[in-house]
Structure 1
C-alpha cells in the first residue's frame, strides 16, 4: 500500500545528491514536493524534471541556517499545497580537519548547517504539524553519527546531535502528538564530496574511498521505505552503507 500518495514533503538540500534523488523518488510515489536549496538554477531544473515525469513540485530558494527563511519555507509549502506532511532535513555540510588545524570557520559552518539548519526547519514545520496532529520528520544522519573519525570530530559531533535530538523527538512528538521522527544514516555516498576536499592528500584519500561508494538513488529508496509506513509505525534509524565499507 502507498501511504505517501498526495502527501506534501519539504526536502532541504534538494538541488543535488541525496536530496535531489529523494525528491524525485518521493514524487514518483505521488508526493507533492517542495524543493529547497540555495541554488535557483538547480532547483528550477529539478522541478522541471519532476513535472516532466508527471509529478508535482515547487521550488523555493532558502538558506535553512536563517530561521526566518526556514519559517518562510514552511509557510510557502502550506500556501502552495495546503499542508506540510513530511520534512526531510537533508541540507548538510561535511568538512574534514584535525583538531590541531584549529579550523574554526569550518567548525562553525558545520554547526550552523547540520545542527541549527535542522532545528530551524523543524521550528518552521512543527506548528503546522502540531495543528494537524500528524506529520513525519526525517533527519538525514550518517554513519558518522554512530562512530567517530579523528579527522571529522565536529562533523561526527553534529551527527551524534542529530541522533540524540531525533530520539528525543520520537519520545515526545511521536508518543504525545503522533508526529513521527526518524533518521537514515548513510555510509559513503557518491555525491561529489571527495572532489571538494581541499587538502591534496586528503582529496586523494577521499577519492580512493569514494570508489566503493553507493549512489544517492540507493539512499532515496531507503527514504521512501522509511516514510511509506502506516501511522502507527516508525522506522527509528536505517543505516545504508556500501557492502565493502568496513566501518
Structure 2
C-alpha cells in the first residue's frame, strides 16, 4: 500500500470534493507531484515551499494562497514530527525539532490566517492532530499534541463561539505515513516500528477531515478520534 502523509491524503480528498487547495511543505518534488494528483482528483491546486517554523514563511504562504484563489476559508494544520526516544536518552535535538514544528508551526498558521478568518466570518479552522494519550517513548511528542489540544479548545471558545467559526480537532492513532523510519534514536525506532505494525492508511484521517469540513453552518465537529481497531486505546 502506498504510504501517504495525512496532509497529502487530505489534499487529494478535498480536491476530489472540488476544493481549491494550497499545499505547503519543504520538499519541492513531493509538492509538485501532489499538485498534479490533486488536480487529477478534480480540484484546483497549487503549492509553495514553506518552513512552518518560520512565521514570515507562513505569512508568505497565506499571501500566496490569497493571490491564487482569494481569501483563505479553511486551514488544515497537520505539520508535525513524531520522534520517539526514552527520557534517559536526553534527545534534546529531537525535542527541539518537535517543539519547533508541532507547536510553533501550528501557532504560526493560526496567527497568519486569523485576522482574515474573523473579518470574513469564515467557516473553519481545523486542527488535524491532537493528543489524547501518552505512549511508550513518546513523551515530548505526546506533550506537543496535548498542547495543540489546549490551543484548539481555547481557539474554539474564544474565536469559534463568538464569531460562528468552526474549530475542530481530528485526533489520529497510528497512521502508516512512514513516520517510524524517520526516528533516529535506536531504541525509539524499534518501538516505533513495532507500534506501526497495525497502522492504518492516512485516507481514513482524510475522510474525517472532509466530514468535519462538510458540516452545515450551525454544526461544529469538536473532536473526532480515528485509530486502528486493534490499537489498544
SS at match of 2:14: helix
Paired position in structure 2 for 1:64:
52
Shift of 1:100: 1.7
Counterpart Cα distance in 2 of 1:205 and 1:94: 12
Counterpart Cα distance in 2 of 1:199 and 1:65: 23
Paired position in structure 2 for 1:203:
189
Paired position in structure 2 for 1:35:
23
Counterpart Cα distance in 1 of 2:137 and 2:187: 13
Counterpart Cα distance in 2 of 1:187 and 1:139: 15
The 8 Å contact of residues 72 and 113 in structure 2, kept in 1 or not, is answered as: yes
Distance 1:64 1:87, change over 3 A: same
Distance 1:205 1:111, change over 3 A: closer
Counterpart Cα distance in 1 of 2:54 and 2:182: 24
Distance 1:23 1:113, change over 3 A: same
Counterpart selection for 2:76 from 65, 80, 88: 88
Paired position in structure 2 for 1:104:
92
Shift of 1:198: 2.5
Pairwise mapping of residues 70-219 of structure 1 onto structure 2 (< 5 A)?
70-142=58-130, 145-219=131-205
Shift of 1:119: 0.4
SS at match of 1:138: strand
Counterpart selection for 2:8 from 13, 20, 44: 20
How many residue pairs get aligned? The number is 231
Paired position in structure 2 for 1:12:
none
The 8 Å contact of residues 155 and 167 in structure 2, kept in 1 or not, is answered as: yes
Deviations 1:217-239 (A, max 9, x none): 11110110111101111111100
SS at match of 1:141: coil
C-alpha RMSD of matched pairs (Å):
1.5
Counterpart selection for 1:235 from 196, 221, 226: 221
Deviations 1:163-205 (A, max 9, x none): 1111111111111112221111110100011222224444333
SS at match of 2:218: coil
Please list every run of 5 or more consecutive structure 2 residues that lacks an aligned counterpart in the other structure: none
TM-score normalized with structure 1 length: 0.89
Counterpart Cα distance in 2 of 1:108 and 1:196: 15
SS at match of 2:224: strand
TM-score normalized with structure 2 length: 0.94
**Which of the pair has the greater relative contact order for Cα pairs under 8 Å at 6+ separation?**
2
The 8 Å contact of residues 86 and 137 in structure 1, kept in 2 or not, is answered as: yes
